[in-house]
Amino acid sequence: MLSKAHLAPHQTARNQAISVEALAPGSVVVSVPSLVTALLPSEKGRRCDNCHVLESGDIRLRKCTGCAAYWYCGSECQTRQWNAHHKRVCKYYSSFVASPGYQGLSSNERVDAVLLSHLVMQLFPHDNFSLQAEHNGPLSECTDLLKGSRLDIRVPPICGARSKTGDPSCQRAAHELFSRFGNNNFVLHSHLNSYAHGMFPLASRFFNHSCAPNAVARYINIVSEPVRMEVVAIRDIAEGEEITIPYLDPALPRDTRRNALQLNYGFTCTCQLCSSTEWLRSIPPPARGSQELIILETSLRMAVFGRSDRVAADVVDDRMTHTIPEGLGPLFHESYLSDISERFSKASHEGGYAEALEIGLTQLALYCLVYPTNYPQIGMHALELAKTVWNAMVSGERFTDSGSLAEDAKLYLGIATHILGIFGPEGDPGGPIEEIRVLQGLLNSP
Ligand SMILES: C[S@@+](CC[C@H](N)C(=O)[O-])C[C@H]1O[C@@H](n2cnc3c(N)ncnc32)[C@H](O)[C@@H]1O
């Protein structure tokens, strides 16, 4: 039992997390430390390998002199990780990453190979790879997790003394643990950008998936402490209601989500988004710039904002429920969202602000339909729009209705403030909440 949720039986998922009290948006349902993590290769040397804080003016990272591949913010983190698993990894790490077995893996698989190595070395410190776990210990927490449904898993090589890792009992233990990776592990993020993979067995044990979740995960980095995962309510959750989180991006097309959930987790999603969009077929959108596409995009903005040229402040009203109008099906094809995201990003960074603001508004309308209310990505996009409006205001680019630009910026900033305020700060210092504060100052200055 967690303080705000308890486990109850679930028809198909074994168990589910049920709220023991009414929760308001922004409430932290659970805060749990990581059992084990591994940084993405791009983050090595930028973050402490143990607590994952970023190098900064105040924090200087020092290399492990043994392997020259792990970095620490101080002796506390270095000692903790040494005792947890690094003393059994350090000597073998450089030959491990140069080995054909590791080199043949994709970048995600490489992170999981390192994560598995950390886990095995941590759980079996005396090379007794017995799976007979102590009740309530970390090994039993791991083996208590449901196994994934994939039959084709290929257990990656693990880093450590060859005489130990090649031992059949070690291989068996690695297989048992790895068979739970795909459907239980998490990708850690800071300001919604991924930086590591990690295991949080207690959170895995509790939270089922929904494409229309009422909670999301955020990650908290504190110097010299294990990264914490917090599950935060994004809307009102009633006492007795199931608390769910998204296992994948709900903005992915319905078929893509369903295939991925079936393949990796072995279930068919029956959430409100999946069941209300059964009619959606994969129809490609009309060509970019065509009249048909302009009509569809205008209808989309009308459906969400009640007008096509401007955002409506009440898109963040928790009582608003948006249903996807049937005629807009082609805008939910997988090529469309990636196309407009790319066009918005290009136009908002390179100028051509009028175009950026129109595409960005359409993207916001799409997000309001596919994401649940207060989903952090809606807030992040509203912030990008507010910044783009600000850039447009100071660029000197001429707009037919430039008088409303400052008002638009405030509307977008209001949406970002509301949603990202509920999500709260995550990961590294600065980030969107700081950007909102700066932009608010600029907009309010005379
Ligand atoms: C991280 S675990 C979630 C906790 C799990 N219910 C338990 O009792 O341990 C993930 C597994 O739960 C099940 N699951 C999660 N969400 C589900 C859903 N919406 N419908 C059916 N099964 C689900 C799947 O078996 C999936 O592989």
**Region 292-305: what's the mean pLDDT?**
93
Considering the domain architecture, whether residues 206 and 290 belong to the same structural domain is answered as no
The pLDDT of residue 177 is 97
Considering the domain architecture, whether residues 425 and 294 belong to the same structural domain is answered as yes
DSSP three-state, residue 178? helix
360-404 tens-digit pLDDT? 999 999 999 999 999 999 999 999 999 999 999 888 777 666 568
The pLDDT of residue 399 is 67
Considering the domain architecture, whether residues 192 and 303 belong to the same structural domain is answered as no
Is the pLDDT score of 242 beyond 80? Answer: yes
Q: Which domain holds residue 40?
A: 5-245
The pLDDT of residue 43 is 98
Considering the domain architecture, whether residues 292 and 439 belong to the same structural domain is answered as yes
Among 245, 268, 297, the domain-final residue is: 245
Any domain includes 374: yes
Considering the domain architecture, whether residues 178 and 315 belong to the same structural domain is answered as no
Q: Ligand 1: does its nearest atom lie under 6 Å from the Cβ of 268?
A: no
Residue 216 near residue 60, CB atoms below 8 Å: no
Instruction: Give the nearest ligand 1 atom to 271 CA.
Output: 19
The pLDDT of residue 2 is 72
Q: Ligand 1: does its nearest atom lie under 6 Å from the Cβ of 87?
A: no
Separation of CA 199 and ligand 1 centre (Å): 16
Beta bridge partners of residue 18, listed in sequence order: 6, 242
Residue 238 near residue 21, CB atoms below 8 Å: no
Considering the domain architecture, whether residues 304 and 384 belong to the same structural domain is answered as yes
The pLDDT of residue 371 is 93
What Cα–Cα distance (Å) separates residue 390 from each residue in 198, 377, 387?
38, 20, 5
The pLDDT of residue 321 is 62
Q: Is the ipTM of this complex over 0.95?
A: yes
At 318, the pLDDT band (50, 70, 90 cuts) reads low
DSSP three-state, residue 62? strand
Residue 70 near residue 80, CB atoms below 8 Å: no
Mean pLDDT across the chain: 92
Considering the domain architecture, whether residues 41 and 148 belong to the same structural domain is answered as yes
Instruction: Give the nearest ligand 1 atom to 184 CA.
Output: 1
The closest alpha carbon to 265, from 287, 247, 238, belongs to: 247
Listed range (30-34, 69-73, 347-351, 436-440) with the worst mean pLDDT: 347-351
% pLDDT > 90, the chain:
77
Any domain includes 191: yes
Q: Ligand 1: does its nearest atom lie under 6 Å from the Cβ of 267?
A: yes
Considering the domain architecture, whether residues 27 and 162 belong to the same structural domain is answered as yes
What's the CA gap between 242 and 263, in Å, rounded?
Answer: 24
At 445, the pLDDT band (50, 70, 90 cuts) reads confident
Q: Ligand 1: does its nearest atom lie under 6 Å from the Cβ of 7?
A: no
Instruction: Give the nearest ligand 1 atom to 265 CA.
Output: 27
Separation of CA 177 and ligand 1 centre (Å): 17
Which residue's CA is minimally distant from atom 27 of ligand 1? 265
**Region 190-218: what's the mean pLDDT?**
97
Task: For residue 181, give the CATH number of its domain.
Answer: 2.170.270.10
Is the pLDDT score of 233 beyond 90? Answer: yes
Any domain includes 427: yes
**Region 220-238: what's the mean pLDDT?**
97
Is the pLDDT score of 281 beyond 90? Answer: no
Any domain includes 133: yes
Among 195, 223, 245, the domain-final residue is: 245
**Region 26-53: what's the mean pLDDT?**
97
**Region 156-170: what's the mean pLDDT?**
93
63-83 tens-digit pLDDT? 999 999 999 999 999 999 999
Residue 112 near residue 85, CB atoms below 8 Å: no
122-149 tens-digit pLDDT? 999 998 999 886 778 999 999 999 999 8
What is the secondary structure of 191-234 as a DSSP string? TTEEEEEEE-HHHHHHPEE-SS-SEEEEEE--TTS--EEEEEES
Number of domains in the chain: 2
Is the pLDDT score of 110 beyond 70? Answer: yes
The pLDDT of residue 134 is 73
Considering the domain architecture, whether residues 89 and 229 belong to the same structural domain is answered as yes
DSSP three-state, residue 186? strand
Phi first, then psi, for residue 431 (nearest 5°) are 85, -165
Is the pLDDT score of 174 beyond 90? Answer: yes
Is the pLDDT score of 309 beyond 90? Answer: no
% pLDDT > 70, the chain:
97
**Region 93-98: what's the mean pLDDT?**
97
Residue 168, judged by CB atoms within 10 A of its CB (0-12, 13-18, 19+), counts as exposed
The closest alpha carbon to 116, from 156, 171, 161, belongs to: 156
Considering the domain architecture, whether residues 337 and 434 belong to the same structural domain is answered as yes
Any domain includes 260: no
What's the CA gap between 23 and 242, in Å, rounded?
Answer: 12
Is the pLDDT score of 216 beyond 80? Answer: yes
Any domain includes 273: no
Any domain includes 255: no
pTM: 0.94
Considering the domain architecture, whether residues 238 and 345 belong to the same structural domain is answered as no
Is the pLDDT score of 325 beyond 90? Answer: no
Any domain includes 254: no
Q: Which residues contact 367 (CB under 8 A, 6 or more apart)?
A: 251, 375, 377, 378, 381
The pLDDT of residue 403 is 60
What's the CA gap between 356 and 347, in Å, rounded?
Answer: 5
The pLDDT of residue 30 is 96
Is the pLDDT score of 252 beyond 70? Answer: yes
Among 245, 267, 296, the domain-final residue is: 245
What's the CA gap between 378 and 388, in Å, rounded?
Answer: 15
Considering the domain architecture, whether residues 283 and 205 belong to the same structural domain is answered as no
Residue 270, judged by CB atoms within 10 A of its CB (0-12, 13-18, 19+), counts as exposed
The pLDDT of residue 120 is 97
What's the CA gap between 196 and 190, in Å, rounded?
Answer: 10
